[in-house]
Every structure is written in structure tokens, then in C-alpha cells.
Structure 1
């Protein structure tokens, strides 16, 4: 009987060690950091560990191999979801802008009715000491479920990424009402015509901030 319990404890230690190592390596050690892929994958991993704890017929090496296979599949799916825009939209989602320039974007409320509960939004605002929708200039539900807010007196729109690791984000340019030609012309003015040189570029209210692959920053207020 003691041998059985020791065997279960060993399986638990192996399962916990592998899963916690994966979460720490990927930085997903908090619920807010997890995507839908992570949450579903964790349920699967939990099912694998729970289902095998009392199964003495499965060799320990097969158990470890199965756990590693599940973890590798999660890591691959997460990687692909960040590289393929359509897959990212379906697995991670996109921020939902609720208010822009003090105007409620009713179409966004209607299109995302299943994801937006106005009472939940109001609760999130109260947690930030904002007790009314009055005087809100910008509000957005992030992919983590948090609500980002800018009040009118702050008079500053949130920064938006337009390039990351050489990839241009067309949707962000569309929101900013800017064209890809404008972006390339602005970069050329900074002597940065090669997109592969660019680690990050973001529009910061009135200028473009660019971080190149050597870690240096370049700014333009045009």
C-alpha cells in the first residue's frame, strides 16, 4: 500500500515540475497572462496528470513523454498564434475599443455583445476609482479582460504599435488613419528604410518612436 502512495507522489512531483517549469519559461504564471490556448492546454495537462495518477499500467517514461508532448503542442500552438494574424485573432483575440474621443462606439458594443457586459465594465472602472462614464476620453477592453481608461483631462491617446520585428500592423495604421506609405516615408526620414532593422515602432500621440535591433531609439514628431 505504501508503495502505491509513493508511486502516486512521484507522478505528482513529475507532473507539477514539468507544468510549473513550462509556465515559468513562458511567463504564464498568472491567470491574467494566459491566452485561451493556455487555459485549454492547462485543463488538458491537468486531465493527463489526474487520469494517470491511479493508472499503474502506464510506464513512467510514457507518462513523462505524454506530458512533454502536450507541453510542446501548447508551445507550438502559442507560437503559431502569435505569428499568424488570423489565428491570433481566434485564439488570443483583439482589444475592443469602447470609447474613443469621448464617443461611445456602439457598433463595437453590438458586434461584441457576447464579450461585453456593461456592468462588468462599470465594475472594472470603479476598481480604478472611476465611478461614471462621464469625462472618459478613451476606454478599451484588453485581451486580458482588463479595461484601459484615459480621462479627458489627460488629453493623450494610448500609444499604438505599428511595427514589431519588421512586421507592419495594417489594422493599427487604419485606426490611426495613416497609410503604409506615410509610415515608410517617416522611417526613411529617420534613415531606417530596412524593416528588418526595426524591433519596434509605435505612434505616441504626436510622433513615431522607433526602436532598432541594436536597442537604440529614434523619434520623429512629424
Structure 2
């Protein structure tokens, strides 16, 4: 009987060590940091650990291999989600803008009715000491469920990523009512002619901020 308990404890220790190591390596040690892939994967990992605790027929090496396989699949799905825009939208989701320039975007409410609840939004605002929708210039529901808000008196505009790791983000350009030619012209004015050299291009209110693959920051304060 004592041997059985020691065997169970050993399996628990191995399971905890592998799962916690994965969460720490990926930086997802809080619920808010996890994607839907992580949440589903964690349920599967919990099922694997719980189902094998009292199974004496499965060798310990097979148990470890099964855990590592599950973790590897989670890492693979998360990696693909970050590199493939269409897959990211389906697995991680995209932020939902609900107020822009002081106007409610009703179409976004309709298209995402299953994800948007006005009472939940009001609660999230109250947690930021905002007790009314009055004077809100911009509001957006992030993929974590948090609500980002900019008040009218703050006179700020949300920044937008236009290029990430050499890839143009078409949806962001559409929101700014710009096109690829405009973007390339802006990059060209900063002597950046090859998209593959761009690590990040961010539109910051009235100018473009570019970070190239060598870590150098290029900024333009020219008006749009």
C-alpha cells in the first residue's frame, strides 16, 4: 500500500514539474495570459495526469512521453496561431472595438453578440473608476476579456500594428483607411525598402514607428 502511494506521489511530482515548467517557459502562469489553446490543453493535461495516477499498467516512461507530447502539441498550436493570421483569429481571437471616436460600433456588437455583454463591460469599466459611457472616446475588448479605454479628455489615439515580423496586417490598414502603397511609401521615406527587415511597424496617432530586425528604431513625426 505504501508503495502504491509513493508511486502516485512520484507521478504527481513529474506531472506538476512538467506542466509548471511549460507555463513558466511560455510565460503563461496566469489565467489572463492563457489562450484558448492553453486552456483546452491544460484540461487535457489534467485528464492525462488524473487518469494515469492509479494506472499501474502504464510504464512511467510512457507517462512522461505522453505528457511531453501533449505539451509539444500545445506549443505547436500556439506557435502556428501566432504566425498564421487566420488561425490566430480562430484560436486566440481578435480585439473587438466597441467605441471609436465617441461612437458605438453597433455592427461589432451584432457580429460578436456571443462575446459581448453590456453588464460585463460596465463592470470592467467600474473597476477602472469609470462609471458611465459618457466621455469615452475609444473602448476595446481585448482577447483576455479586459476592456481598454481612452477618455476624450486624454486626447490620445490607440496605436496599431501595421507590420509584424515582415508581414503586413491588412485588417489594421483598413481600420486606418490606408492601403499597402501608402504604407510602403511611409517606410520608403524612412529608408526602409524591404519588408523582411521590419520587425514591427506601429502607427502612433500621427506618425509611423518602425523597428527593424537589427533592433534599431526609426520614427517619423510627419503628419498623415
Shift of 1:83: 1.2
Q: Which residue of structure 1 lines up, in the alignment, with residue 195 of structure 2?
A: 195
Provide the secondary structure at the position in 2 that maps to 1:199: strand
Indicate the RMSD between aligned Cα atoms, in angstroms.
Answer: 0.6
Quote the offset at 1:220 in angstroms.
1.1
Q: State the TM-score, normalized to the length of structure 2.
A: 0.98
Distance (whole Å) between structure 2 residues aligned to residue 86 and residue 184 of structure 1: 23
Deviation at 1:112, TM superposition (A): 0.6
DSSP-derived class of the 1:57 partner: coil
In 2: Cα distance, 1:205 partner to 1:9 partner: 56
- Report what 1:208 is aligned to: 208
Counterpart check, 1:112 vs 2:112: yes
Aligned-residue offset at 1:60: 0.2
Secondary structure at 2:182 match in 1: helix
The CA deviation at 1:221 is 2.3
Q: Name the TM-score, length of structure 1 as normaliser.
A: 0.99
Aligned position for 2:101? 101
Unaligned runs of 5+ in 2: none
Pairwise mapping of residues 1-222 of structure 1 onto structure 2 (< 5 A)? 1-222=1-222
**Deviation for aligned residue 1:81:** 1.1
Distance in 1 of aligned mates of 2:126 and 2:195: 42
Q: Secondary structure at the match of 2:132?
A: coil
Deviation per CA, 1:31-71: give whole Å up to 9, x if none: 00101000000000000000000001100000000000000
What is the total number of aligned residue pairs between the two structures?
Answer: 222
Deviations along 1:67-123, one digit per CA (max 9) or x if unpaired, are 000000111111111111111111000100000000000111111111000000000
Helix, strand or coil: the match of 1:192? coil
Output the CA distance in 2 between the equivalents of 1:142 and 1:151. Answer: 17
